[in-house]
Each structure stands twice: as C-alpha cells, then as structure tokens.
C-alpha cells in the first residue's frame, strides 16, 4: 500500500470519527440542560484532508 493510500485510509477514519463525535454530542448523549454542544459535520469535513496531510506527512517535530 502506498503512502497516499495510507493517508486516504487515515483521512476516512478521521472523518468518520469526527462525524460520530458530533452526532453523539447532538443526538445521543443525555441532555440534562438542553444545550447543543456539537458542531456541524461540514466544518470537520472541510479540514480533514488538509489536517491529515499536515500531521501525517508534511509537518516535522521541529515545525
């Protein structure tokens, strides 16, 4: 498997996890105070490719 395929796999998993966290915060967790704490999935989806490439490929410890 190439590096790009590994990054795509990581990206897909991060996207799934971010969507699940937002869904859980908005729809599953007990809401004793009625406050909605989760964000919107689009804000996570728009950044996941950039952040995956930065954190797992481009950035180095000295950055």
CA gap 61, 36 in Å, rounded: 36
pLDDT tens track for 17-36: 988 988 888 888 888 887 77
Flag whether pLDDT at 38 surpasses 70: no
Exposed, middle or buried, 52 (CB in 10 Å: 0-12/13-18/19+)? buried
Within a 10 A sphere around the Cβ of 10, how many other Cβ atoms? 16
- Look at residue 52 and give its three-state secondary structure: helix
Flag whether pLDDT at 50 surpasses 70: yes
How far does CA 36 lie from the centroid of its chain? 19
pTM of the model: 0.75
Mean confidence (pLDDT) of the chain: 87
């Amino acid at each position: 498997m190439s590096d790009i395929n590994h990054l795509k796999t990581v990206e897909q998993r991060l996207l799934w996890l971010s969507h699940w966290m937002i869904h859980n915060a908005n729809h599953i967790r007990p809401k004793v105070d009625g406050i909605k704490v989760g964000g919107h999935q689009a804000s996570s989806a728009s950044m996941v490719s950039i952040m995956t490439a930065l954190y797992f490929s481009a950035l180095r410890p000295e950055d």
